[in-house]
Amino acid sequence: MARTVTKLADGRELIYFDAGPDAPPRTAVDRRPLDRAAPAAEVRQDPATGAWVTIAAHRQARTYHPPADECPLCPSRDGRLSEIPDADYQVVVFENRFPSLATSPGAVHPGAGAMDGGTTAGGAAGADPLRTARPGDGRCEVVCFTADHDVSFADLDEDRARLVLDAWTDRTAELSALPEVEQVYCFENRGAEIGVTLAHPHGQIYALPFTTPRTARMIEQAGRHREATGRNLFEDLLAAERADGERVVAAGEHWTAFVPFAARWPYEVHLYPNRRVADLTGLTEDERAEFPARYLDLLRRFDALFATPQAPGRTPYISAWHQAPTRDGGELALHLELFTIRRAAGKLKYLAGVESGMDAFVNDIAPETAARRLREALA
């Protein structure tokens, strides 16, 4: 893999990832007249739950559903300048122009002050425990999977999917080393139904200055399981699903995909490496080599779920990598969670009062039924 680092006109970093020994030189210069990026964000702690909430008001100005000929993620060509200066690319990662989190020298952070234990909204450390806030220091990156505007990740070949995995791994390693970062989250949102505002096939990476609530709950539950059994929760969970088999969608030598016993979403699949590792950097070459085929197979099954001859499938989904926090990951195991908000053709699963208000999910489809339909989707 060739890795070329450059800068955009406003100082943001851009990285080209190219596969093979004959990678082209990446010397194109961003010629746009952009002001230097200076975003500012704040994270505030909810005193009732302990969860951190990011306040990023500058994102209201971000690009919203541009026409295809004005897509900022397509290459710069035919006189049109975009976020990618080169006329073509394989995989590109760059700092988001409208980040939820960012470390920017000289940026004014609301309520900024001493970082130990956070600060109050007024800036005095420790003065009011009900108003804990601190600068939203971190990093948000965009990952462009291909220069082709009209395809999806499921349309990629295995070599390109492997290059994306290598890019995710590279960014996990580099971002985890930043002193302000506690967790690296790689994910993809696909489909307008999910809320995607740029149609070009891409994902994102958040380098977070806190551990997310879902991760914290997993680590806490893993601790309880260790105390009760002396074993790792995620190893036991994977072994139980592989032994039962009813909810397994696909399994290989190094990866297993299954619908969880208590799935929250109508169609939800978890993809685990068969050997427990904390994050993407811990995968072996054999595990990396098998991943593209296994992941592409899952995406194509999701697309086939609701497809008809008249309407080829493009199922909206969220694909989320769960990685251990950088400093205190407990016994969390790397895994990918893939789910769609579609429950039937033409019907979406909306988060209504009990889900949105109480975080208590009600699933319309039995996990065993979802697993069977996914196994049969490509038959």
Could you tell me if residue 62 is inside a domain? yes
Task: Quote the pTM value.
Answer: 0.93
User: Which of 140, 175, 206 is the C-terminal boundary of a domain?
Assistant: 206
Question: For residue 36, is it within any domain?
Answer: no
What pLDDT digit, counting tens, does each position of 142-157 carry?
999 999 999 999 999 9
For residues 145 and 141, give the distance between their C-alpha atoms in angstroms, rounded to a whole number: 13
Catalytic residue selected from 109, 200, 202, 225: 202
Residues 166, 115 within the same domain: yes
On whether residue 35 sits in a domain, the answer given is no
| Domain-embedded: residue 32 | no
- Residue 335 annotated in active site: no
Q: What's the per-residue H, E or C state across 147-164?
A: CCCCCCHHHCCHHHHHHH
* Secondary structure letter of residue 84 according to DSSP: B
| pLDDT in the model for residue 104 | 53
Residues 119-142: what's their mean pLDDT?
79
In this structure, is residue 55 part of a structural domain? yes
CATH of the domain at 268: 3.30.428.10
Q: Are residues 188 and 51 in the same domain?
A: yes
Domain that includes residue 124, residue range: 2-20+42-206
Last residue of a domain, one of 149, 171, 206: 206
Q: Could you tell me which residue, 57 or 193, shows the higher pLDDT?
A: 193
Share the mean pLDDT of the chain: 91
pLDDT at residue 42 greater than cutoff 90: yes
Number of compact structural domains in the chain: 2
Helix (H) or strand (E) holding 367: helix 367-376
**168-183 confidence digits (pLDDT tens):** 999 999 999 999 999 9
Q: Indicate if 155 and 237 belong to the same structural domain.
A: no
Together in a domain, 360 and 344:
yes
Domain boundary, last residue among 144, 175, 206: 206
In a domain, 27, yes or no: no
Phi first, then psi, for residue 270 (nearest 5°) are -110, 135
Q: Are residues 51 and 200 in the same domain?
A: yes
